[in-house]
Amino acid sequence: MRSVSVTGGERLRALAQDPNVRLVMVANHSTHSDVEVLAESQRLCGVWGAYMAAHEVFARSRFQAWVMQRTGAFSVNRENVDRQSIQEAVRVIEGGRCCLTLFPEGNVAFSNEKVMPFLDGASFIAVKAQKKLGRSVRVLVVPTSIRMTHTRDVRMLLQQQIQDLLDVLAGEGVQVHWREDDPFYVQIEMLGYAILRRGLQRRGYDFSCGVDAWRTDPAGAMEKVVAHLLDQLESSLEIQAAGGALERARMVRSQLAKKRLGGEGSQVERLDDLSILLMRVLSYDASYLRECPSVDRCSETLEKLREDYAEVLVRPVSARHAEVRFGEPVEVSGKSIKALTDELEMAVGEGLGYYQSSYPGGEMMASDCFEA
């Protein structure tokens, strides 16, 4: 991260000094650097932050866990209701020393310009804290929009990353179907199709929606893949989950977590691995590149593909500038959990809409930009 700029900081500073106000911050979660970006933004405003982070982040290494704890983070199990973490979050709000910071998208989305659907956990915590504090203290939620953009032209670097990934896939015998006249964003989409097919085949599935379908209607093709995976998982677990694809997938993950705790063996491991692939597919927005094939969007989508392929964290292609917007605080009192969740999701999304990148990252990725 090269630099950070903040909008709305003075209002946040004033609220933090009010003894009758408790602050919760909810933000979009588009990169692995969001905690560090928010920590610096809060420092610039004279605000101390506490962060709820997935327990997997703490498990990466002892050093990582040590750093996270000293930046005010505590862990949460995203697969099950983690009562201890919820109680700790409510205590942080009640104490008033720190601004509790939450990421309702649940996972790193790699979509700087669009929010993924919010989970209701953040709103549940805020409402619970407001009830415990009573009417004498106001719990306010600050919708926070983070946008990162490349400060230099990285198009040649992106092309090299694609070539490197093509070479690795070719070494595995994986074919990537694209035409020489395909725009760069279509090349990325077809690369994603190849990686998805590889993931399915490694798990013993050869389901395919076809190259032409993926090229002409990637959203429809992804829906078919998701439906197939959900049918396989729900049938194996003997459940019939209600709701949309994301709700059904979360129910599958919850059921698998219970089976793991029950000590069930290799069958659960196989299904768990397949469910992780399902969640990865669901985390992509098929329209994201086609709406606006900018350098930033192509870069973050390619970063996500590289990470999903390697199944480890990967470094961004280059340093970026972060813009953080602290929005109008939202009153918690009197709101239902669902209403609060919907309002916050809309506010964070609207905050992202204010940004117009003046850096090279905001430029369009022309299809012929790599020609000599």
331-349 tens-digit pLDDT: 999 999 999 999 999 999 9
**What integer pLDDT is reported at residue 56 of this predicted model?**
65
In this prediction, the residues of the chain whose per-residue pLDDT falls under 70 are 54-60, 64-65, 67-72, 74-82, 207-208, 367-372
- Name the DSSP letter for residue 116: P
Residue among 212, 226, 335 nearest 277 (CA): 226
pTM, 2 dp: 0.88
The pair of three-digit structure tokens given for residue 250, joined into one six-digit string: 């979360």
- Residue 173 neighbours by CB under 8 Å, 6+ apart: none
- Third-level CATH fold of 3-151+319-362: Glycerol-3-phosphate (1)-acyltransferase (3.40.1130)
**What integer pLDDT is reported at residue 57 of this predicted model?**
65
Three-state DSSP at 325 gives strand
Give the Å distances, CA to CA, from 275 to 199, 223, 247. 12, 15, 13
β-partners of residue 323 are 5, 147
User: Are the C-beta atoms of 4 and 147 separated by less than 8 Å?
Assistant: no
Single-letter residue type at 103: F
**What integer pLDDT is reported at residue 372 of this predicted model?**
32
pLDDT in tens, 116-141: 999 999 999 999 999 999 999 999 99
User: Are the C-beta atoms of 326 and 7 separated by less than 8 Å?
Assistant: yes
User: Are the C-beta atoms of 6 and 45 separated by less than 8 Å?
Assistant: yes
Q: Where are the domains positioned within the chain? A: 3-151+319-362, 155-310
